[in-house]
Structure 1
């Protein structure tokens, strides 16, 4: 089976933008790893999906866009993104941008993500 890491990344990001937690969970392998300056290191699909749910309770109106999604290897992709969100409690608007490296297994599930915010 030939994977298209860029298409898999786009589908994963579409699930996030739709707040489709079932599809977000389905995108990850059971023992996936997620690392970000914002959330730290997470291990396992359940922990990752739980962190997404918690995040979207605080920032329910997040809008994220990719300026670039590129395939790096047969099993990895890189996405350059920008997001805007409003804190539901404080009303403060947050803008972030950065790069995300995604690594997939042979079934097209995410096994690792590394998120790097722009400085």
Structure 2
């Protein structure tokens, strides 16, 4: 897989996330995928990641990610800085978070790992 393919896959993931399309998002992950978020913890397996995302979208029903630039990195990876906005239903407060996300793909284009880092990492 080349860098442009990886970047297109990452863009698709962000688009589906902004659409809150959990059924299609779940299809993007390898069964044994892992997800580490500095904000929400560690998840192992596509099923565990899907459950976390479903809970996230309940807590942030209007979550939206802005990404200005996608960069190819090693190991079929893509990284990008993001700004996430949304209303936290548990507190009623508008939230804006910034961070760096890295998505790594299998050779056949499935997500094998996501790392979400806070801006200072």
1:1-44 deviations in whole A, cap 9, x for unaligned?
A: 65611100000011111111111101110000000111111000
Q: Partner residue of 1:47? A: 48
Bigger shift: 87-96 or 30-39? Answer: 87-96
CA RMSD of aligned residues (A): 1.5
Q: Partner residue of 1:66? A: 67
Deviation at 1:87, TM superposition (A): 1.2
- Report how many aligned residue pairs link the two structures: 119
Q: TM-score, normalised by structure 2?
A: 0.91
Structure 1 contact 12–23 (Cα < 8 Å) conserved: no
Q: Partner residue of 2:93? A: 92
Structure 1 contact 64–84 (Cα < 8 Å) conserved: yes
Unaligned runs of 5+ in 1: none
Q: TM-score, normalised by structure 1?
A: 0.93
Q: Partner residue of 1:32? A: 33
Structure 2 contact 2–76 (Cα < 8 Å) conserved: no
Measure, in 2, the Cα distance between the counterparts of 1:89 and 1:116.
Answer: 23
Structure 1 contact 5–74 (Cα < 8 Å) conserved: no
Q: Closer, same or farther in 2 for the Cα pair 1:74/1:37, shift >3 Å?
A: closer
Unaligned runs of 5+ in 2: none
Measure, in 1, the Cα distance between the counterparts of 2:78 and 2:90.
Answer: 34
Q: Which runs of 4+ in 1 moved over 6 A?
A: none
Q: Partner residue of 2:7? A: 6
Measure, in 1, the Cα distance between the counterparts of 2:82 and 2:12.
Answer: 14
